[in-house]
Structure 1
């Protein structure tokens, strides 16, 4: 029996969680105020609609300050699930992936000159699933390495354009530094 795997972002900083809590509290207070003072006449329905729209906006800001992403991998059944989590609520669907080929790490340039590193799982010849994005190359590489080890597949470092290199995982583990195949 293989062990399952969870890849998750770090918890949001305390100040972001406090701001999110304030926005969620404000949204609930506005919702209670709206229905407590509701007079369901035709004239007042427009005001109720505006207040409900405000509740949605305030909740959206709270969600923006509180969500994080996770990947759940069930290696026994080859199921993968990418989720967006807001507190105990997890949104995402399971996807069955068979015929793993390799894991790759590559970068995408951003408009401000920075790079974001992506970890992809390639399967069925030319299909891939975007597992993870990180601003730090080393974090992305650790995630890709661990996944390739668990799935017993190869790892491709595609961070240098037109100079893709396969990682020698055995030598990398032994030397504790990145070693490529010749």
Structure 2
């Protein structure tokens, strides 16, 4: 188990989002090539090129929104982890070393519109934490928290009720996740 790597990954984007992102990225690339080509051939349209460059930046931002996903990598062998934002093969994120894992917690944050977002945190090194993930669904948040706590062989804390935190009996949670009990 010491050389194990854990990857908790966001769900894949729907095909329509990937399709839209690819169209947007293609249009941004064509526009960028047009800007470069025309800037060297016709310097008098330099101002138009600057304005078009802003459009390219906006298109890339929109394309990124439609195609990124978040993943968490935990390297048990070297006792480190990282959160990444991924766009295709590009992964942005830095490794962080952990000296002692303590527990995983799941809690919720209320949103302005009345909904809640559930956060999964890894607590380590005497009261430090790393936000691993956010989910809109409590069941999915607890499933991710459970999986991480099982791999790391640490406890799972239910902190969804303010001032009433409790460690979860993971054997009961496993049965619920597997549909053995309701």
TM-score > 0.5, shorter chain as reference: yes
Q: 1: distance between equivalents of 2:171 and 2:21?
A: 44
Structure 1 residues 172 and 24: alpha-carbon distance in aligned structure 2, compared to 1, 3 A threshold: closer
Aligned to 2:103: 102
Give 1:93-132 correspondences, 5 Å limit: 93-132=94-133
**TM-score in terms of structure 2 length:** 0.90
Aligned to 2:89: 88
1:51 corresponds to 2:63: no
Range 163-172 or range 63-72, more displaced: 163-172
In the TM superposition, what whole-angstrom CA distance separates every residue of 1:85-130 from its partner, at most 9, and x where no partner exists? 1111111111111211111000001111111111101112221100
Range 144-153 or range 104-113, more displaced: 144-153
Q: 2: distance between equivalents of 1:96 and 1:87?
A: 26
1:41 shift after superposition:
6.8
1:35 shift after superposition:
1.8
Q: 1: distance between equivalents of 2:19 and 2:152?
A: 39
In the TM superposition, what whole-angstrom CA distance separates every residue of 1:29-80 from its partner, at most 9, and x where no partner exists? 1111112222467643322222212111111111111111001111111110
Give 1:22-171 correspondences, 5 Å limit: 22-39=23-40, 43-171=44-172
Q: 2: distance between equivalents of 1:22 and 1:172?
A: 43
Q: 2: distance between equivalents of 1:142 and 1:55?
A: 39
Name the Cα RMSD after superposition.
Answer: 1.7
- Listed as ranges, the gaps of 5+ residues in structure 2 are 178-182
SS across alignment from 1:162: coil
Q: 2: distance between equivalents of 1:132 and 1:164?
A: 19
Tell me if the contact between 2:38 and 2:45 (Cα under 8 Å) persists in the aligned partners: no
Q: 2: distance between equivalents of 1:39 and 1:146?
A: 55
1:9 corresponds to 2:24: no
SS across alignment from 2:109: strand
Q: 2: distance between equivalents of 1:19 and 1:171?
A: 42
